[in-house]
Each structure stands twice: as C-alpha cells, then as structure tokens.
C-alpha cells in the first residue's frame, strides 16, 4: 500500500480544503480531524469508514481555516505506519483498506461528498471497542512532560534524573498514559496506577509493552531517515476475533505530525525549542497571538493566513517524504 505522493503546497493555495463530509451512511461522528461512519459488515466483521479531512486543531480547538491537502498526507502516513507495525509483528491494526473504490455505491447521493474527494483520505477499518486511555511514549523532554518535570521532577508519577534540560533525550523512553477526554477538553496526564484502576492492570501492562515496542521500532526507522520522534501517542481497541477473545489492536492514526513530534536529527540541539516537521509551527504562531492578546486559546480559533496553512502543509509533506522514502 503506497500513499499518493504529496503535492506542492502552492498547488493548494487557492483550494478550499475539505472541512466536512456528507455521505449516505449511518452513525456519523466527527472528531477534531476525522469524520467516522458505520459501514456494512464485511468478512472481518463490523467496519468503519474513517475520513481524514483538512481540519486542523491546536490546544484542543479546531481552527476555522483548513490546511488543504493535509488529510491525504495524514491518511497516507498513518497507513504506512500501521502496515509497518503489522509487518514488524508487534500487533494488528484496524486498517483494512484505503481504497475509496471499496465504499458502497449507496453511500453517494445528491449533495454527498464525491468518491473523488475521498480518494487518498479514507480508511476502511475494523471496528473496535476503544480503550479509554491515551498511550503516550516520550523519548525526549518536551510539551506537557517538560512542564510537569520543571514543577515536580517527575512525569506521570515517574521519577526522572535531576538537571535535565528542555528537549533533552531521556535515559530511556517512558510510557505516560493520559485520559481520553471529550472533544474540546484537554487530556489529563495520569499515573500508570490510575490508568490501571480505569481499564485494569493486565490491559495497561499490555498497552505499555505494545506502545514502547512500537516507539522503539518506529524511532529506529525514522532516525535512519533523519528524523527524531520526540514523543507520540497511540490508541488501542479490542476488535472481535474469528475465534477466542477479542484482539487488542492499534486504532485511529499512528505516528503522524498530528500525533507525534518530529525533529530533524541534523538540527537537534538540546536545551532549547526544536525545529519540527509537525504542527509545532502552528502552535508557535498561535502562541504569538496569545502573547499579543489576539486570542485566548478558547473556541473559536483565529483565522489562519494562507502563508501559515501552506507552511504547515509543507512541514507535513516533508515528514511524509522522509519517512516513506
């Protein structure tokens, strides 16, 4: 499965981007980026159609302006990683296909999003009961982990060495779970023990093992392509199996610029913020608006200038090119 090659940011300069979908399918749910529909059952059991739109969020707020073309990049890169994880023998995934031609004809009618608009941005997936825990792995000290470390010397109850600097590499990657909050609310870092109380210790031990294994293998691949994966988050779910107990699989997206921090290895300098191939560029633009009193990190988000959306797309495209080459 090879994702469509990314297009130059300039090609999207005058395009509106896909911000929402309309299909003749049941069960529409909208997340920050993806629209999800129910599909008729297939040979593998219950299925979903997941469409990566061009919406973009920051600080848990969906911006009013999309990043045209972003959804196709996210969908292609996530499909690459899900197959990478499966081929490495770590665990199964929800991914069945990314072929828009497999969407039933009944999904399309007057006023519906066209099959052509869905090409490159849809995933046909196994349906799973999602475990309500964000599985975060950190290899470097950034984001909420850096903030918590400065205040307590710990992350999610884990003691870390004293004297670490901003963006320092950790002695070993750490697994730091978080709650899965409703749309618009901030996920909250919690201890492994608290997560075990929510979903069970055996499940959490398995999630920790899978998350660390995926991060280790993915980091090795990324570094060979000149990219440091500073941290990332995964979601898992239990999918019906043909026989026996439900199978624990990775779901949602995996290792995209929306769910991971990607830094160019040749420009990495600990002790300071890093250049990135993810939406940190957008976050920094928005932080400047916050500092100047233009925005308060609450919905609605501010309008994004074309140069910001194009530059954001360019960073996503660079990550795609390096990682899938």
pLDDT in tens, 240-263: 887 778 999 999 999 999 999 999
Residue 295 pLDDT exceeds 50: yes
Domains of the chain (ranges plus CATH)? 131-236+243-267 (3.30.470.20)
The alpha carbon dihedral of 163, 233, 178, 239 has a sign of negative
| 306-324 and 70-87 helices, crossing angle to 10° | 20
pLDDT band at 288 (very low <50, low <70, confident <90, very high): very high
DSSP H stretches of helix in 58-171? 70-87, 115-118, 143-152
Residue 2 pLDDT exceeds 50: no
| pLDDT in the model for residue 188 | 86
* Percent share of the chain, pLDDT over 70: 94
| pLDDT in the model for residue 1 | 38
pLDDT in tens, 67-125: 999 999 999 999 999 999 999 999 999 999 999 999 999 999 999 999 999 999 999 99
C-alpha–C-alpha distance, residues 217 and 307, integer Å: 35
C-alpha–C-alpha distance, residues 236 and 93, integer Å: 9
- Radius of gyration for the chain, computed over Cα atoms and rounded to the nearest angstrom: 19
DSSP H stretches of helix in 181-305? 192-199, 201-224, 280-291
311 forms beta bridges with none
DSSP 1: -
pLDDT in tens, 296-312: 999 999 999 999 999 99
pTM to 2 decimals? Answer: 0.92
Residues in the chain: 325
pLDDT band at 170 (very low <50, low <70, confident <90, very high): very high
| pLDDT in the model for residue 16 | 80
Residue 181 pLDDT exceeds 70: no
pLDDT band at 7 (very low <50, low <70, confident <90, very high): low
- Long-range CB contacts (< 8 A, 24+ apart) of 268-273? 268/167, 268/228, 269/167, 270/165, 270/166, 270/167, 270/168, 270/169, 271/165, 271/166, 271/167, 271/168, 272/166, 272/167, 273/166, 273/167
| 192-199 and 201-224 helices, crossing angle to 10° | 120
pLDDT in tens, 143-166: 889 999 999 999 988 999 999 999
3-class SS at 143? Answer: helix
| pLDDT in the model for residue 244 | 78
Residue 313 belongs to what H/E stretch? helix 306-324
Q: What are phi and psi of 114, to 5 degrees?
A: -80, 160
Mean pLDDT for all residues in the chain: 92
| pLDDT in the model for residue 185 | 59
């Amino acid at each position: 499965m090879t994702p469509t090659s990314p297009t130059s940011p300039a090609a999207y300069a005058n395009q509106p981007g896909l911000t929402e979908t309309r299909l003749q399918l049941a069960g529409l749910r909208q997340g920050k980026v993806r629209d999800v529909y129910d599909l008729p059952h297939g040979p593998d059991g219950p299925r979903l159609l997941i469409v990566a739109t061009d919406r973009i969020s920051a600080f848990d707020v969906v911006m009013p302006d999309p990043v045209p073309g972003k959804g196709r990049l996210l969908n292609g890169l996530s499909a690459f990683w899900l197959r990478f994880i499966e081929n490495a023998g770590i665990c199964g995934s929800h991914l069945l296909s990314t072929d828009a031609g497999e969407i039933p004809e009944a999904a399309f009618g007057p006023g519906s999003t066209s099959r052509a608009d869905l090409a490159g941005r849809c995933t046909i997936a196994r349906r799973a009961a999602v475990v309500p825990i964000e599985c975060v792995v950190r290899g470097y000290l950034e984001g909420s982990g850096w903030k918590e470390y400065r205040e307590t010397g710990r992350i999610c109850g884990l003691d870390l060495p004293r004297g670490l600097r901003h963006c320092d590499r950790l002695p070993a990657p750490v697994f730091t779970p978080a709650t899965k909050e409703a749309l618009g609310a901030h996920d909250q870092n919690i201890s492994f023990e608290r997560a075990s109380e929510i979903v069970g210790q055996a499940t959490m031990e398995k999630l920790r093992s899978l998350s660390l294994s995926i991060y280790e293998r993915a980091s090795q691949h990324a570094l060979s392509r000149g990219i440091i994966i500073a941290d990332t988050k995964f979601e898992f779910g239990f999918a019906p199996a043909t026989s026996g107990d439900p199978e624990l699989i990775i779901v949602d997206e995996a290792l995209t610029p929306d769910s991971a921090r990607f830094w160019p290895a040749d420009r990495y300098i600990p002790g300071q913020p890093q250049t990135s191939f993810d939406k940190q560029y957008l976050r920094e633009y928005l932080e400047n608006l916050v500092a100047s009193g233009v925005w308060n990190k609450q919905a609605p988000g501010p309008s994004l200038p074309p140069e910001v959306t194009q530059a954001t797309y360019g960073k996503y495209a660079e990550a795609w090119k390096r990682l899938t080459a």
